[in-house]
Structure 1
Amino acid sequence: MITTGIGFLAFIVAFTALVLYLAKKFPLKLYKFFPPILIIYVGTMLLYTFGMWTMTEEIKAVKTALVNNMVPAMVFLMCITCNIKKILRMGPKLLFTFLAATFTICVGFVVSYAIFGGALNHPADAFGAVCASWVGGIQNFLAVSSSLGVEGDILSNVILMININYSFWILILVAIGSLAPRFNKWAKADVSAIEDISKKLDGDTAEKKPFDHLNVLVVLGISLVAVYICRLLANIAPNLGFIDASVWEYIFISVVGLALGMTKLGDLPAVDVISEVMLMLTLTLLATEINILQIADAWLYILAGALILVIHAVLMLPLAKLSHLDLHSCGVASIANIGGPSSAPIVAATYGKSFVSIGVLMGTLGCVIGTFVGLAVAQILRMI
């Protein structure tokens, strides 16, 4: 049984690395629908449940310090990689398709919360965090859940809600790809411009640069300085309704990161690698105090999530008909919201090569707006 801070940190890092190593060494098809990040989360819960460590004051202090500083640094680095100029090159129709998917997902959250909120003891902030994830990605979820104080069993329930529904959704989107000709005929969709847009976007894609220890130190230094400055500003910013210091911190971090992403800092090597390491370790740490035997309401959260996706799909149909949107663009926009930039290219590739770069940029756009949408939806749900 682990009771010291250094022992706890050593085990968490080693366990996370082991799961990722095995996933890379043995690339099973299972990982497409049950990703390593979920295996790490559930595995950590099981290890805590069966007594691998005790949450002593020393361990709690280590965990709190790491999470409170790693999450905003990670959000900052992921925002730096979001080049807004490239996103705008998708054109108005593809941008509309993505935002239509975002809007219908938000409507789904409002309706689902109105139905299930009472039975779930009104977890408005938790639903807002899930909305941030289903518009952007897991980094947006962490930003909103941290700023709104979502933790404990509720945090575990909503993570299961996210991942289980996501796994089924990606299967559905891949399966319906063959229906595109009939759907496009029904919607009177013109798909001739898709390949032209894709070629233009592919021309903007730059190869990843190699990096060394200096690049790593520069990226870490910039991210930590940004967190320090934004936290200072957040502490002196006025409270405006639900926007307190913790919320201001993530707003400032996101805005500064997006602004710097349009400069040469957006091309810094090692940013992706460092932010991914922070993401994996943060998710592992969040699961270290969750007893899996105490998760009583997860099934209801999963059902609420399924209803959100059904409402999203149903509302997208008339929008596609009225705006003449093709099925593949709608599918890519949907998974770019629900799954984020890591999943969008996977589904897009099953539709055709021309959709891959579009999926990447749609997923990136979700990362840009996800935190703000999640905070706004949480506020709306609080009023229900």
Structure 2
Amino acid sequence: LLYGAGITDRIDHRLQADPSAITELKEKIEAYRSQILRIPNLADTVKVMSVGFGVTALAHFGADLIAPWITQNAPGLAKFSLTSGFFWLIVLATTLALGLSFTKARELEGVGASRYGSVFLYVLVATIGMKMNVMAIFENPGLFLVGLIWISFHAILLIAVAKLIKAPFFFMAVGSQANVGGAASAPIVASAFHPSLAPVGVLLAVLGYAVGTYGAWICGIIMQGIVS
């Protein structure tokens, strides 16, 4: 994808894409950032942390109420993971955050909210990594084949859609990385096209996380139905 960013003109020509959409997007992003961007003070930092930890606390509180209630009153829903506290924690946190994105809370991006989020994201990734046994990958190498098939479908679908709607390579590359790599790498790919487009990578990655939360659950249910 990074190599493709250097030859994007040739790729766009093959896709018969109109690159003017990228120019328009850059102008919109720069205009919006100039409206909300400001030097953060202590109050701004407190607001960002309050929103982040507040949403997390509400999600924990809701999960602690909903999961036990379903376990007691509808235990049959366990096959859909609806009795799992962790399931409700993630769903509630995602839903609340999406709701806040339609309020003035989104203006906290102007004081670097996504940078704070990235810090906690790296902490999460490091925490997952510390619990991982690297040698376990040799216990079931067939999973690599499954991953290869998934990524192949992902690539074929993106290329086909990009060709169909004549989308610039930028959207295909950043959209792909937003879904596969997430907020840790999508901004890097976006900034390879133009530094001002890095926020687009962040936004698409966050959208990918949100859609993935619900989509992965639905995918799991479908796979469960196939196996059973």
Cross-structure match for 2:189: 347
Task: Write the distance in 1 (CA, Å) between the matches of 2:165 and 2:223.
Answer: 29
Contact kept in structure 2, 1:234 and 1:245, CA below 8 Å:
yes
Cross-structure match for 1:313: 155
1:228 aligns with 2:61: yes
Which secondary structure state, in structure 2, belongs to the residue aligned with residue 376 of structure 1?
helix
Closer, same or farther: CA 258–231 of 1 in aligned 2, 3 Å: farther
Describe how 1:210-359 pairs up with structure 2 within 5 A. Answer: 210-211=41-42, 214-215=46-47, 218-219=50-51, 222=54, 223-237=56-70, 238=74, 239=77, 241-246=79-84, 247-266=87-106, 267=108, 272=114, 275-276=117-118, 278-287=120-129, 290-297=132-139, 299-353=141-195, 355-359=197-201
Task: Write the distance in 2 (CA, Å) between the matches of 1:332 and 1:324.
Answer: 15
Which secondary structure state, in structure 2, belongs to the residue aligned with residue 316 of structure 1?
helix
Which secondary structure state, in structure 1, belongs to the residue aligned with residue 138 of structure 2?
coil
Closer, same or farther: CA 176–291 of 1 in aligned 2, 3 Å: closer
Q: CA deviation at 1:289?
A: 5.3
- Normalising by structure 2, we get a TM-score of 0.73
Q: For residues 336-358 of structure 1, what are the alpha-carbon distances to aligned partners after superposition, in whole Å with 9 as ceiling and x for unaligned?
A: 21111231221122223464343
Closer, same or farther: CA 280–313 of 1 in aligned 2, 3 Å: closer
RMSD of aligned C-alpha atoms? 3.3
Task: Write the distance in 2 (CA, Å) between the matches of 1:357 and 1:272.
Answer: 9
Task: Write the distance in 2 (CA, Å) between the matches of 1:328 and 1:280.
Answer: 25
Which secondary structure state, in structure 2, belongs to the residue aligned with residue 311 of structure 1?
helix
Task: Write the distance in 1 (CA, Å) between the matches of 2:194 and 2:157.
Answer: 25
Instruction: Please tell me the residue identity of whatever aligns with 1:363.
Output: A
Instruction: Please tell me the residue identity of whatever aligns with 1:259.
Output: G
Instruction: Please tell me the residue identity of whatever aligns with 1:333.
Output: G
Instruction: Please tell me the residue identity of whatever aligns with 2:99.
Output: A
Q: For residues 203-227 of structure 1, what are the alpha-carbon distances to aligned partners after superposition, in whole Å with 9 as ceiling and x for unaligned?
A: 2223362336855873576232442
Number of residue pairs matched?
A: 212
Q: For residues 122-168 of structure 1, what are the alpha-carbon distances to aligned partners after superposition, in whole Å with 9 as ceiling and x for unaligned?
A: xxxxxxxxxxxxxxxxxxxxxxxxxxxxxxxxxxxxxxxxxxxxxxx
Cross-structure match for 1:209: 40
Q: CA deviation at 1:372?
A: 0.8
Cross-structure match for 1:370: 212
Task: Write the distance in 2 (CA, Å) between the matches of 1:279 and 1:366.
Answer: 14
Task: Write the distance in 2 (CA, Å) between the matches of 1:350 and 1:313.
Answer: 20
Cross-structure match for 1:190: 18
- Using CA pairs below 8 Å that are at least 6 residues apart, which structure has the higher relative contact order? 1
Task: Write the distance in 2 (CA, Å) between the matches of 1:336 and 1:196.
Answer: 21
Contact kept in structure 1, 2:62 and 2:89, CA below 8 Å:
no
Instruction: Please tell me the residue identity of whatever aligns with 2:4.
Output: I
Closer, same or farther: CA 218–326 of 1 in aligned 2, 3 Å: closer
Q: Looking at secondary structure, tell me which structure has more helix per residue.
A: 2
5+ residue gaps, structure 2, are none
Contact kept in structure 2, 1:335 and 1:343, CA below 8 Å:
yes
Q: More displaced, 347-356 or 273-282?
A: 273-282
Task: Write the distance in 2 (CA, Å) between the matches of 1:187 and 1:248.
Answer: 42
Quick one: percent identity of the two aligned structures? 25
Closer, same or farther: CA 356–217 of 1 in aligned 2, 3 Å: closer
5+ residue gaps, structure 1, are 1-172
Closer, same or farther: CA 319–232 of 1 in aligned 2, 3 Å: same
Closer, same or farther: CA 320–362 of 1 in aligned 2, 3 Å: same
Closer, same or farther: CA 175–229 of 1 in aligned 2, 3 Å: same
Q: For residues 317-371 of structure 1, what are the alpha-carbon distances to aligned partners after superposition, in whole Å with 9 as ceiling and x for unaligned?
A: 3322221122222111111211112312211222234643432322221122121
Which secondary structure state, in structure 1, belongs to the residue aligned with residue 184 of structure 2?
coil
Q: CA deviation at 1:242?
A: 0.6
Contact kept in structure 2, 1:198 and 1:357, CA below 8 Å:
no
Contact kept in structure 2, 1:198 and 1:355, CA below 8 Å:
yes
- Normalising by structure 1, we get a TM-score of 0.47
Task: Write the distance in 1 (CA, Å) between the matches of 2:93 and 2:168.
Answer: 36
Closer, same or farther: CA 174–248 of 1 in aligned 2, 3 Å: same
